Amino acid sequence: MRYSSQVKPISYLKANAAEVLERLAEQREPLIITQNGEARAVLQDVASYEETQETLALLKILALGQQDVEAGRVKPAADVVARLRVKGPTG
């Protein structure tokens, strides 16, 4: 995704805040806010932010799992299933 068309100065945000928020919700594309010609912030709708946070959480879980594999902290799936069957559904 190219963000060059999604760059606006902070003065635009100040003058058009309601319109900007409406567009963010509809288009679900982030808006880069500049100040003195430099990128200073990224504005995005809440739904997109929540999706991003969920994705990051899943990636962190995968990374932790990979670390466990690399450190040898693994068990055969058959052993885990057998243990769960012995415990039963209530643990």
- What is the distance between the alpha carbons of residues 25 and 14, in angstroms, rounded to a whole number? 17
pTM: 0.70
| Surface-to-core class of residue 33, CB atoms within 10 Å of its CB (0-12 exposed, 13-18 middle, 19+ buried) | buried
Residue 7 and residue 14 in contact, taking contact as beta carbons nearer than 8 Å? no
Q: For tokens 């679900």, name the residue.
A: 28
pLDDT at 2 over 90: no
Q: What does the pLDDT look like over 5-40, one tens digit per residue? A: 799 999 999 999 999 999 999 999 999 999 999 999
